[in-house]
Amino acid sequence: MSSGMRATGTRDTVVAEPKASRAPVPVWLFFLLFVLLFWAMYEFDRRGGWFHSQVYTPYRSLAELQRYQPATGGISLERGKVVYETVCALCHNTDGSGKPNQAPPLSGADWVVGSPDRLIRIPLAGLTGPIEVKGQTWNLAMPAMGAALSDDDLAAVLTYMRSAWGNQAEAITPDQVAAVRAALAGRMQPYTAAELQAIP
Ligand code: HEC
């Protein structure tokens, strides 16, 4: 008797049972998804740094972090070394000796210790075709590896190259780099050695 009443009481509280049914996903949801995706990609593109080691390298000490700060006025050889090792050493080797079939040497190369106006153009616009370096002919191509560097950083790395590995030539200033950059007026075409020879 008492159990029967409890059962009744339970049945009374049961409301309509949920049923599985199909409803179309609203179109605006797709739209929102698309907009969110686009926004996310845009933000990644803008702030992601494209996994560049200069952005994502973990710092192990405060001193190391300070070494990676952009140069602020003046030329720092230490900064130049850091930029060289991050951007150029991959092909030209850490000791500037070059790598067979990859890149010619920078140590003892006339192109490095000679005319600043020629030298600055190489990382800014790139280089292609036959070039003689220390009596050996190379015929490869170098992309504009320095075009994304600031005037300070490019001046620092070139100055470093001109004073490292036994090289001895005067410093390159950020002003010199800025002047050449302006003269190139956004030129994207890589130089040939012959074209550079014509520059004083
Ligand atoms: C992807 C590989 C690569 C990277 C990175 C690279 N270079 Fe080069 N570099 C080359 C190649 C290849 C040549 C020869 C191109 C040719 O044969 O015309 C060259 C030639 C040169 C030359 C003239 C020849 C010589 O050896 O003296 C200079 C100067 C130079 N690079 C400077 C730089 C600087 C500065 C950087 C960094 C900002 C840099 N390169 C980064 C591949 C590279």
Tens-digit pLDDT string for the chain (200 aa): 444 445 454 566 778 888 888 888 889 999 999 999 999 999 988 887 777 776 777 778 877 777 776 655 567 888 999 999 999 999 999 999 999 999 999 999 999 999 999 999 999 999 999 999 999 999 999 999 999 999 999 999 999 999 999 999 999 999 999 999 999 987 889 999 999 999 99
Q: How far is the CA of 192 from the centre of ligand 1 (A)?
A: 12
Evaluate whether 165 touches 106 at the Cβ level (below 8 Å). yes
- Cα of 88 vs centre of ligand 1, distance in Å, is 7
- Close Cβ partners of 190 (under 8 Å, ≥ 6 residues apart): 125, 126, 127, 128, 141, 142, 143, 144
Ligand 1 pocket (Cβ < 6 Å) reads 87-88, 90-92, 103-106, 109, 111-112, 119, 122-123, 127-129, 131, 133, 138-142, 145-146, 157
CA 190 to ligand 1: nearest atom = 18
